[in-house]
Amino acid sequence: MAHVDDQQLTQVWDAFEKNGFRMKDNQGELIDMETADERRHDQLPDLRELVDDFLAESLALGEFKSQIDGQNKRFPYWGFKGMNGMMFFNMLYSSAGEERQDELASLLRKLIRPPESGSEAKEKIRSLEGFVERLRNEVEDLRKAPRPGSIPYFLSYFWQIHDRDQYPIYYTSMVNALSDLAIWEPKDDVADSYAEFWELNEEIRNTLAEYTGRDIHLWTVEHAFWHWQQRDEFDDDIEGKEGETKPATLPDSYTPPIVSILPDLAENTEEMVELADETGNVVETLFENRLAKCLRMIGFEVEELGQGMARNPDGIAKNRIHNYAIIYDAKVRRDGYNINTGDERQFQDYINREVPTLRNQGFRNVYFAVVSGSFSDESQEAIRSLKITTDIQEVRLVEADALLALLENRLRDPKFSLGPGDASGPGIQDFFAKSGILAASDIREELGI
C-alpha cells in the first residue's frame, strides 16, 4: 500500500481551489462542489428508503432494481447508470434467471448492508464475486454476464447510501487519477483493492484536512480527483481569471497533442482560424487531417476521400478484423451543427455510392458518422430518413470530445477492443452501433469512468 505524497495531494487540491471548486458533472454540466453536494443530500433520503424497503423484504428484487434505475436516471449524481452500476445490476439479474432470483435477493440483502471493517468489506465483495463466477460458468455468451471488476463500485455505492462519509465509492475515474499520479495501483484481487482504496481515502482526508484547516468529506475527495481528471478543460479559464500561468505538472493525459486540438478546430475558434492562416491552411482542412490521424490512433485503417471535394465523404474508417466500416464526414461549426436538407441529400449520395463497395470488400456492418464540435439538435428526422432511404445501419452524430474520450481509453486500457463488447465491457464498435448524438459523457457513463 502506497503512502500518499503530500505534494501530490496539495497539487490536486490547489488546482481544484484555483478553479473555484468547480467541475463538470458526468452529464458535462459545469457545477460547483456545494451545488453537487446539495443535489446528493436532497436525493439520499429517497435512496435510503428504497434500500431499507428492500432490506425489510417489503420490496421485491425486480421492483427494487427498477426503482433504483428510475432514481438514477432522473438524478444521475453518482454515475450509477454506467457499466459498473445499472448495467452490472441488469446483467446480474438476467443471468441469475428465475431459478436463482430468490438466492440473489437473499444474497444482496446481506451484502448491501454496510460492513463494519475493511476485512468485512472484503468478505462481502468475495461473496458476490463467487456468485458472479458461478453465473459466468453457466452462460453461453460472456458478453451478457456480469463482470467481477464491477463489484467494488456496485457494493460501495449502496454502502455509501447508508453512510455518505464512511464508505468511499470505488469510482474508476478516481482509480485512474490515483494511478496517473503514481499514488496507488489496484490489485488483481478486487476485494483487496477496495480495502486498500478505503484506507487510502482516509489517509487522503487526513492529509488534506491538515493542509487546508477544514473538514474534508469523502465527497470532497471524490470531487477534487474528478476535477483533476478534467483540469485541462479549465486551464485557459483559470489563467484568464488569475492572470498567472498554471504550475508545471507531470503530464498524465493519454491524448497526443497533435489531436488534442480537435474540439477547438471543430468549433472553429478564433485561435484556430489564426493558427490555420499562419500555416497557409483553412480550419476545415486541418480538422479533416487531424480527425483522420485520431481515427488511425484509435486503430482504424483510414481511407481519406474528402480533400475539400463535396462529391465525396471525408473518409472511411475500417476495421477488417470485426468486419465493420464507418463512412464519416467532418463539419466545422462555431454554433453547433445540424443536418439540413442539402446535407441530407449529400449524405444519401455518399452512402449509396460507398456501401456497395464496402459490402463487396467484406464489411458486414457499415455505419455513417458526422463529426463536429457539438450539435444544435438531434436531427432525428434526418437520421430516420437516411436509415430508410439507404442501406446504412446506424447514423452517429459524434462530438469531437467523444472521439478523444475513445482514444484516451483505448490508449489507457489495452483490453478496450475495436470490436463489440466482451466480458471486460463495451468495445468501440458498440458506440457506433446505435444512432443519435455521441458525447464524451455518454462514453464515460458506459465505461464507468
Closest of 12, 1, 69 to residue 247, by C-alpha: 12
Q: Report CA torsion sign: 40, 73, 411, 273.
A: negative
Strand partners, 325: 318, 366
pLDDT at 111: 98
Pairing of strands 365-372, 324-330: parallel
Residue burial 44-81, b: 16+ Cβ < 10 Å; e: rest: eeebeebbeebbeeebebeebbebbbebbeeebbbbbb
Whether residue 203 is predicted with pLDDT greater than 90 in this model: the reply is yes
Q: Is the dihedral of CA 198, 201, 202, 203 positive or negative?
A: positive
Check residue 250 and give its pLDDT. Answer: 55
Q: Are 329 and 292 in contact (CB under 8 A)?
A: no
pLDDT at 444 over 80: yes
Number of helical H runs and strand E runs in the chain:
20, 8
By DSSP bridging, strand 394-399 and strand 22-24 are: unpaired
Write the burial class of residue 187 (CB in 10 Å: 0-12 exposed, 13-18 middle, 19+ buried): middle
Q: What percent of the chain has pLDDT over 70?
A: 93
Q: Kindly state the average pLDDT of the residues 178-200.
A: 92
The answer to whether the CB of 155 falls within 8 A of the CB of 168 is no
- Count of CA atoms in the C-beta half-sphere (13 A) of 300: 25
Rounded Cα distance between 78 and 171, Å, is 9
**Residue predicted with more confidence, 39 or 27:** 39
Q: Quote the cell numbers at residue 439.
A: 458525447
How many whole angstroms separate alpha carbon 103 and alpha carbon 96? 9
Distance of CA 313 to the CA centre of its chain: 28
Least confident of 95-99, 283-287, 422-426: 422-426
- At residue 238 the predicted structure's pLDDT band, cuts being 50, 70 and 90, is very low
The whole-number average pLDDT for the span 266-270 is 88
Which contiguous run of DSSP H or E holds residue 32? strand 30-32
- pLDDT tens-digit profile of 323-346? 999 999 999 998 899 999 899 999
Give the pLDDT confidence score for residue 441 in this predicted structure.
Answer: 85
Residue 1: pLDDT over 60: no
- Among the listed ranges 78-92, 117-131, 233-247, which one has the minimum average pLDDT value? 233-247
Euclidean distance between CA atoms 178 and 173, whole angstroms: 9
Show the cell assigned to 299: 486503430
- Residue 229 makes CB contacts below 8 A (sequence gap 6+) with 173, 176, 177
Level-2 CATH architecture, domain 257-447:
3-Layer(aba) Sandwich (3.40)
What confidence category does residue 247 fall into, taking pLDDT thresholds of 50, 70 and 90? very low
* pLDDT, position 268: 86
317: helix, strand or coil? strand
Convert the pLDDT of each residue in 366-413 to its tens digit.
999 999 999 988 889 999 999 999 999 999 999 999 999 999 999 988
- Residue-wise pLDDT for 50-77, tens only, equals 999 999 999 999 999 999 999 999 999 9
Domains of the chain by residue range: 6-236, 257-447
With contact defined as beta carbons under 8 Å apart, do 55 and 109 qualify? yes
Average pLDDT over residues 224-250: 63
- Give 271-325 pLDDT, tens digit per residue: 888 888 887 788 898 899 999 999 999 999 999 987 655 578 999 999 999 999 9
Q: What is residue 3's predicted lDDT score, i.e. its pLDDT?
A: 58
